[in-house]
Structure 1
Amino acid sequence: MAGDPRVPERLRPKEEAVNDVIPLREATKAWFAISLQTFGGPAGQIAVMQHKLVDEKRWIGQQRFLHALNFCTLLPGPEAQQLAIYTGWLLNGTRGGMIAGSLFVLPGVIALMALSAIYVRFGETDFISAIFAGVAPAVIAIVVSAIQRIAKRALDHRVLVAIALGAFLALTVFSVPFPLVILGAGIVGWLLGRCMPSIARGSGHGAATDGPAPLISDDALHHELPSRRRSLLILTFGLVLWFTPVAAFAVFVDSTDVFVDQGLFFSGAAVVTFGGAYAVLSYVAHQAVSVYGWLAPGEMVRGLALAETTPGPLIMVVQFVAFVGAYRHPGSFDPWVAAVLASLLVTWVTFVPCFLFVLLGAPYVERLRHNRHLAAALTGVTAAVVGVIANLAVFFALHNLFDKARSVDEGPVHLDLPVLSSWDPVAFGITGVALVVMFKRGWGPMRTLGLCAALGVAVYVVELAW
């Protein structure tokens, strides 16, 4: 039959692509179905692909799926989208990887574009403000929940707890740049791996290694031998695609720096996003608010709340940052045109690297997977991610639970502290409700956001009646 890898190549129809283990049209339909179900962060997104590709379609075996997942966790960027690219590549070669990765983010891009426009147009109205007054505390609880989940998996040794605490203090108290924290954690992890080999471990997610027998053998899945020529070709083509839009704005737009600033900043962020979206958001929030002035302090948490409600990777929140920032700094452009262009540009420079990393590194995956020194370095990075996300929780709490903050700058200490008298009782109350339903009732992010939005509106209605 067409597409069956057990049929010798010489007997296949001439028009059939050798790389298509599964007919491309059928695979595309499956990826489109997956793209509409990618809510709930990377764990939920990976579970959706597991169910569709391994359990239901049986196109790929459990071991091979985990092998791909292990590789993707080594990379910066959203691991779930990279897993989609990699498994798409296994099934249909480069075309399959491009289709899978693009469809994975497309619904989220469209949805968040619409929500960002609604926020810019109506965000200052009392009703919309009431909704955000409810969802902002919910995001604090969601981030705290992420800390708990990652810490439980990552901090299984006192040394790793120390690395997490050191990362938190470096960011929160001493304002050490985020990339330096990640680099330092990687170096410490590598050194620990040399003197404490037992601390280095692979990047498995604890998933079971058994599962339904695949319809297609692992040997029939797409593969390519690594070569210098292939790597150079992909690297050159990928870099050109990555930076051409940024260069075009730099050459042809001189009325505002927002496009080039955002293009370069988020290109840099794309290569340091180890540990998922939460890990890099404190860095993005600080730069977007304090350095570039694209957002007000409380707006990052609003963007994160919007991103939580849309399918696709959570790092899609950078699209909201770009939209709002360009709308407020449009130069000679119409603000709406500037906002749309900036959001598309930032989406491009955030996700194109994912394709580059996966397609470039896939042939070397076995070599990377068994590299003990790399595993040790990533153990240190994973531990630091816990401290980085804790810093994000502090940032959100400071700007959403209190109306005022004060800065402390003494020697190496650069610390923001809340003005305790400016505490917001409503925000504290809703945060408490969100923490209870997530930790005691086991609610997920979407359900928690819905409840807290309703509480924000209820408080608004009571205040009107009062």
Structure 2
Amino acid sequence: MSVPLGEALKFWAKLGFISFGGPAGQIAVLHQELVEKRRWISEKRFLHALNYCMLLPGPEAQQLVTYIGWLMHRSLGGILAGTLFVLPSLFILIGLSWVYLTFGQVPWIAAIFFGIKPAVAAIVLHAAVRIGKRTLHSQPLQWIALGSFLAIYILNLSFPIIVLIAGAIGIWGGKRYPEYFQVGSGSHQAHSNHFGPALIDDDTPTPEHAQFKLHKTALHSALAALLWATPFILLVVIFGWNSLYPQVAWFFTKAALVTFGGAYAVLPYVYQGAVDHFHWLSAGQMMDGLALGETTPGPLIMVVAFVGYLAGHIQHLIGSSNPFWFGALGAVVATWFTFLPSFFFILVGGPLIESTHGKLGFTAPLTAISAAVVGVIVNLGLFFAYHVFFPHGLSGSISWISMVICLLAGIALFKFQKGIMPVLAGCALAGLLTYCVGTLL
């Protein structure tokens, strides 16, 4: 018995609207729904797919959805599953980005963002600690994390260079000291429950469409190259080589290929490029975008849609009667070129992975890269905290209220294990109360 494609698509569409909580929460929901309740796939096959997705650059939750959709219903099923997981958040973020730019200076809306910004700093630091506990299981990996933090904080090295250095260390360390560079047993592998037989069970043969075939691999590779090159060339022809949209396309293509370590790993790279290099938006706007990304369903990496929208909207504020459509185009371009490589990795790499259950090798470089990502994320969290606590620089006044809100958010996350949504809601309320008290005094 198999699941009809229509029934599967209903679930993937529903998932796109309810998948809050970042990658960890989304993977937990997938496990609960697909492994425990629906029994579409067994625990072992689910973890095998998850291990592969966690080794890839890009958003692991979206890649896992694509992988399972592909395994169940061929390439079309994988493409539709991955797309439905992303589309709701794309439309929501385009709308929220427009509201943010149009009404963001309204006092009570500005007060909400004032409260949310300290929470974002606490959330990023909490993510670094959580990833660190899962990743830094040996002293050499801890030194790599410290080195990456110092490299980006003191030397201002770019994220791709740090990834390359960490990968090289991992290759050398994996051969010389393999015991230090083994993949730790993650929380998803800590226990293996048995929930009864599944449609795709432990011993279910790999379906014919998921078996490796050279001609199919070549076809999918050529198709992916065409889907990347065609819109990129059109953007260059229509807008010019040095214009905004080809820059957005090329930048987010690179982001999709170098951001190992999950959704939070993309943030430092996007920040360096979008804020420091291209100046598409400010540091404060980047923090606001991360806050919006945390409060909307879908992958956290969808913050790229916010960046793309602001880049297009702001650049066309002058001389355009309706900058919304330029912003929407920027969001679509950023999303397309960010997620296209993810589909390529699954449709091309999936057949190879299906032939090697439990035998994934070459993980030492990726383990080292994951360790380096921890240091980079810590730097990002501290950078956000600096801009929140000292909004006018070290020579200006300190925002003590922001410090208190950040401290309370940290206590809620670390001590009481509260979810991201309640923390953001509480901090937004604190921002509103601060505004109301200020108007009364």
TM-score for the superposition, normalised by structure 2: 0.94
Judge conservation of contact 2:141–2:181 (CA < 8 Å) in 1: no
Judge conservation of contact 2:265–2:377 (CA < 8 Å) in 1: yes
1:370 counterpart residue number: 359
For 1:363-395, what per-residue CA distance to the aligned partner results, in whole angstroms no more than 9, with x for missing partners? 1114596354x2111110111111011011122
User: Per the alignment, in what secondary structure is the counterpart of residue 215 of structure 1?
Assistant: coil
Whole-Å Cα distance in 1 between the matches of residues 312 and 216 of structure 2? 38
State the one-letter code of the partner of 1:250: V
State the one-letter code of the partner of 2:272: H
For 1:46-89, what per-residue CA distance to the aligned partner results, in whole angstroms no more than 9, with x for missing partners? 11111111111111100000010011111110000000000011
Larger radius of gyration: 1
1:428 counterpart residue number: 403
User: Per the alignment, in what secondary structure is the counterpart of residue 433 of structure 2?
Assistant: helix
User: Per the alignment, in what secondary structure is the counterpart of residue 36 of structure 1?
Assistant: helix
What is the aligned counterpart of 2:280 among 294, 315, 320? Answer: 294
CA 1:146–1:314: 2 relative to 1, 3 Å: same
CA 1:202–1:214: 2 relative to 1, 3 Å: farther
Whole-Å Cα distance in 1 between the matches of residues 242 and 141 of structure 2? 44
Matching of residue 359 in structure 1 with residue 343 in structure 2: no
1:141 counterpart residue number: 122
Matching of residue 315 in structure 1 with residue 301 in structure 2: yes
Alignment gaps of 5+ in structure 1: 5-20, 406-418
Judge conservation of contact 1:34–1:52 (CA < 8 Å) in 2: no
Judge conservation of contact 1:130–1:460 (CA < 8 Å) in 2: yes
CA 1:369–1:274: 2 relative to 1, 3 Å: farther
1:197 counterpart residue number: 178
Judge conservation of contact 1:135–1:449 (CA < 8 Å) in 2: yes
What is the aligned counterpart of 2:106 among 112, 125, 136? Answer: 125
Judge conservation of contact 2:93–2:305 (CA < 8 Å) in 1: yes
Matching of residue 216 in structure 1 with residue 161 in structure 2: no
Judge conservation of contact 2:54–2:262 (CA < 8 Å) in 1: no
1:39 counterpart residue number: 20
State the one-letter code of the partner of 1:243: A
1:442 counterpart residue number: 417
1:97 counterpart residue number: 78
Whole-Å Cα distance in 2 between the matches of residues 91 and 214 of structure 1? 16
For 1:137-163, what per-residue CA distance to the aligned partner results, in whole angstroms no more than 9, with x for missing partners? 001111111111111111111111100
Q: 1:209 Cα shift? A: 2.1
1:345 counterpart residue number: 333
Whole-Å Cα distance in 2 between the matches of residues 169 and 148 of structure 1? 17
2:378 counterpart residue number: 390
What is the aligned counterpart of 1:228 among 214, 231, 242? Answer: 214
Q: 1:432 Cα shift? A: 1.0
Provide the aligned length of Structure 1 versus Structure 2.
Answer: 433
Judge conservation of contact 1:255–1:332 (CA < 8 Å) in 2: no
1:379 counterpart residue number: 367
Whole-Å Cα distance in 2 between the matches of residues 155 and 91 of structure 1? 35
Matching of residue 113 in structure 1 with residue 111 in structure 2: no
Whole-Å Cα distance in 2 between the matches of residues 450 and 395 of structure 1? 23
State the one-letter code of the partner of 2:66: I
Q: 1:286 Cα shift? A: 2.1
Matching of residue 252 in structure 1 with residue 238 in structure 2: yes
For 1:172-228, what per-residue CA distance to the aligned partner results, in whole angstroms no more than 9, with x for missing partners? 110111001011111111111111121232475332222212332532553533233
Judge conservation of contact 1:256–1:332 (CA < 8 Å) in 2: no
What is the aligned counterpart of 1:279 among 265, 287, 304? Answer: 265
Whole-Å Cα distance in 1 between the matches of residues 120 and 242 of structure 2? 32
User: Per the alignment, in what secondary structure is the counterpart of residue 258 of structure 2?
Assistant: coil
Judge conservation of contact 2:413–2:423 (CA < 8 Å) in 1: yes
Q: 1:332 Cα shift? A: 6.2
State the one-letter code of the partner of 1:361: G
1:188 counterpart residue number: 169
Judge conservation of contact 1:294–1:324 (CA < 8 Å) in 2: yes
Whole-Å Cα distance in 2 between the matches of residues 221 and 189 of structure 1? 32
State which drifts further: 224-233 or 336-345. 224-233
For CA contacts below 8 A with separation 6 or more, give which structure has more relative contact order: 2
Whole-Å Cα distance in 1 between the matches of residues 288 and 109 of structure 2? 11
Matching of residue 72 in structure 1 with residue 60 in structure 2: no
CA 1:108–1:293: 2 relative to 1, 3 Å: same
Q: 1:422 Cα shift? A: 2.9
User: Per the alignment, in what secondary structure is the counterpart of residue 271 of structure 1?
Assistant: helix
Judge conservation of contact 2:152–2:376 (CA < 8 Å) in 1: yes
Q: 1:92 Cα shift? A: 0.8
Judge conservation of contact 1:37–1:48 (CA < 8 Å) in 2: no
Judge conservation of contact 1:189–1:376 (CA < 8 Å) in 2: yes
Matching of residue 459 in structure 1 with residue 407 in structure 2: no
Judge conservation of contact 2:274–2:280 (CA < 8 Å) in 1: yes
Whole-Å Cα distance in 2 between the matches of residues 29 and 204 of structure 1? 33
For 1:270-329, what per-residue CA distance to the aligned partner results, in whole angstroms no more than 9, with x for missing partners? 111111121121221122112111111211110000000011110100110111111111
1:57 counterpart residue number: 38
State the one-letter code of the partner of 2:323: P
1:15 counterpart residue number: none
Whole-Å Cα distance in 1 between the matches of residues 230 and 197 of structure 2? 41
CA 1:256–1:123: 2 relative to 1, 3 Å: farther
Whole-Å Cα distance in 2 between the matches of residues 244 and 368 of structure 1? 36
Matching of residue 168 in structure 1 with residue 149 in structure 2: yes
RMSD (CA atoms): 1.8
User: Per the alignment, in what secondary structure is the counterpart of residue 70 of structure 1?
Assistant: helix
User: Per the alignment, in what secondary structure is the counterpart of residue 363 of structure 2?
Assistant: helix
State the one-letter code of the partner of 2:399: D
State the one-letter code of the partner of 1:433: L
State which drifts further: 333-342 or 173-182. 333-342
State the one-letter code of the partner of 1:388: V
Whole-Å Cα distance in 2 between the matches of residues 44 and 174 of structure 1? 34
State the one-letter code of the partner of 1:95: L
